[in-house]
Copies of this chain bind each other. A is one copy, B any other.
Amino acid sequence: MRLTAFSDYALRVLIYLGAAQGRLATIAEIAAAYGISANHLRKVVHHLARQGYVETVRGKGGGLRLARPAQAINVGAVVRVTEDSFALVDCFERGAGPDCRIERACVLKDALARALEAFLATLDGYTLVDLLGPARPLARILMPPASPRRPAAAASS
């Protein structure tokens, strides 16, 4: 059982931008910080922008920042819009059909649906603030002085 890399990266982008505390960050910088592909991140950032989590400032010195306060970004809500499917087993995706004989009497599907609800309800208990930790040590880890690029760094604190 796993989440998509898309969800993983989306959460990491939000963590990075939360740790940056409003300082504009670039996709290249976030990709470098996590050692992941900037190309993949571009799609993730585009999706997060469409969903209202991230906003882009264009032009020289531009970049990304959170579009809402970290405490208004719920982890469960993010995962709900970044996972492409919560079909835990094949039959979640199909309507009643001939593929599974037991569909009309199947309790397993209900059991899995409840387990999925419990999973998401747990994540609903976290906001981005929780992921950043009380002392914001992530900012120090992610944005050390030797960071490869720090656009608009002077305006960061």
A-side interface residues toward B, CB under 8 Å?
1-5, 7-8, 11-12, 15, 33-35, 75, 83, 85-90, 98-102, 104-105, 107-108, 111-112, 114-123, 126, 130-133, 137-138, 141-142
Cβ of B138 and Cβ of A102 under 8 Å apart?
yes
Cβ of B122 and Cβ of A118 under 8 Å apart?
yes
- Bound-state CA distance A146–B137 (Å) is 66
- Bound-state CA distance A99–B36 (Å) is 8
| Identical copies of this chain, number | 2
- Bound-state CA distance A34–B104 (Å) is 13
Cβ of B102 and Cβ of A123 under 8 Å apart?
no
State the Cβ distance, A110 to closest chain B Cβ, in Å. 9
- Bound-state CA distance A118–B1 (Å) is 14
Partner of A122, one of B8, B101, B111: B111
Partner of A1, one of B11, B88, B117: B88
Cβ of B108 and Cβ of A119 under 8 Å apart?
no
Partner of A115, one of B85, B120, B131: B120
